[in-house]
Amino acid sequence: MRISQIRRIYQFFAILFFLIFLNGAGQSQSKAVPQLVKLQWKKCLICHAKPGLKKVTSEGEVISLFVNQKELAHSIHKNVPCQQCHMDIVTIPHKGAIKRVDCSRCHYAGSPIEPKNTKRYAQLQNSVHGIALAKGNPNAPRCQDCHGGHDVYPPSDSSSHINKFRVAKTCGKCHPKEYNNFEKSIHAKALNKHKSEAPTCINCHGGHTIESPKQKTSSVYASRIPDTCSKCHGSIKVVGPFGIPTQQVTTYKNSFHGIATQFGEIRAANCASCHGYHSILPASNPNSRINKKNLPKTCGKCHKNINRNVELGKVHVNPRQKSAGIIFYVSSFFKYLTITVLVALMLHIILDVNHKLREKRAGKKKETEK
C-alpha cells in the first residue's frame, strides 16, 4: 500500500515537472522571436541606419535606403524579421537588385495573419490602381506607397499614412493638383480641425475599390454622385452638428435635375456640377461656384446665354416651406383644391347613392301597395 502511494507521488511530481518545463520552453521561445528580430535588425542596420545611404537608379532617380529604427520599432511589423518581407535576401551583406516587397505573401484571403480573410487584393486588382499595375505602369501605387514601408501603423494611429486626417496628404503624393484644390475646401478645413465627420479622399472615391469616374460602378460616376454625397448630407447624425440641413438631398431628387439623373441621364447636373468636387467652398465664399455672383458662369456651363437673373432664383426648393415663395402658395392652393374636390366628389357619390337607394325603396313600397 505504501509502495503504490510512493509511486503516485513520483508520478505527480514527474507530470508537474514536465508541465513546468513545457511552459518555460514556450516562454523562452516566445521571447526568442523579438530577440531574433533585434538580432536581424542589428545586422541590417549596420548599413541601413546611416541617413546618407542611398542609390541612384538607371533613370537617375535617387532612392534613400535609410531605415529609421524608431519608426520600425513602433510599427505594426515590429516583431517581423526583415527577411520575412525581403525574402530574396539570403546573405548579409546582400548584392544585386532587390525585388519589391509583395505584401500578399502574408496578407492573402484566408491567411491567419491580420487582417484575416481580406478581400483587399481582389478589390485592388479591379481598381484603377490595380489595372495600371497590371499594365506595367511604373508610377502606379503599390501597398507601400499608401501604407508606408517600415513605418506601417494601424489607421487609428495619428502617425499612419492612411489615418483619416493624413490620408489626403498621402494621396497628394501622386495627385498634387487634386490635393492642393482639396486643401482649400470646406471639407479640408473641417478635417484640419479634427472633425471626424468630414469626408476625405476615401469617403468619396473608396480605398482599395477606387474606379475611374467613367466606370458606371464608380462611386463618383456622374449618376452615382448624388448617392455618394447623400451618405453624409442625408444623415442628420453627420451634418446636423454643423447646422447643415439634410433636405437638400430630397429637394435635389425631386427636382428636374435629380429626376433626370435617377433615370440615368449623365448630362443632368449632379452635386459636383454645381458645388465642385475637390475645392468645395461655402456659398458665402466669393470663390465658390454657388456664390450668387458666380451662378451665371456655373449654370452657364449647361444653360448657354443665361443672364444674371439666375441670381434671383432659388435652388433646393422645398414647396412645403414658405421660403419657397410663390411655389409654396401655388403648391398649397393645389393641395387644398385637390382635397376639396375629392371631398366634394365623395360627398356627391354618397348623396347620389343615398338618393338611388331611397328611390329603390319607394318603388318597392308602391309595388306592395298595389
Q: Is residue 15 part of a domain?
A: yes
- With respect to residue 255, please indicate whether it lies within any of the assigned structural domains: no
Count of C-beta atoms within a 10 Å radius of residue 27: 10
21 and 54, same domain (yes or no):
yes
The answer to whether residue 78 scores a pLDDT higher than 70 is yes
Structural domain count of the chain: 3
Domain boundary among 181, 210, 239: 210
Kindly report which listed range (26-40, 170-184, 243-257, 309-323) carries the lowest average pLDDT score: 26-40
Contacts of residue 229, Cβ cutoff 8 Å, sequence gap at least 6: 249, 271, 272
Asked if pLDDT for residue 366 goes beyond 80, the answer is: no
Mean pLDDT of 234-252: 92
Residues 7 and 92 in one domain: yes
pLDDT digits 0-9 by tens, 153-207 = 999 999 999 999 999 999 999 999 999 999 999 999 999 999 999 999 999 999 9
Residue 72 domain boundaries: 1-98
Of 210, 244, 274, which residue sits at a domain end?
210
pLDDT of res. 272: 96
Asked if residue 112 is part of any domain, the answer here is: no
In a domain, 230, yes or no: no
Q: Does residue 183 form part of some domain? A: yes
Check residue 5 and give its pLDDT.
Answer: 56
User: Could you tell me which of 64, 123, 65 has the C-alpha nearest to residue 89?
Assistant: 65
pLDDT in tens, 88-135: 888 888 888 888 898 888 887 777 777 766 788 888 889 999 999 999
Using a 10 angstrom Cβ sphere, with 0-12 exposed, 13-18 middle and 19 or more buried, the burial of residue 2 is exposed
Domain boundary among 163, 184, 210: 210
For 337, the 3-state DSSP assignment is: helix
Q: What is the pTM of this model?
A: 0.75
Closest CA to 225 of 273, 289, 172: 273
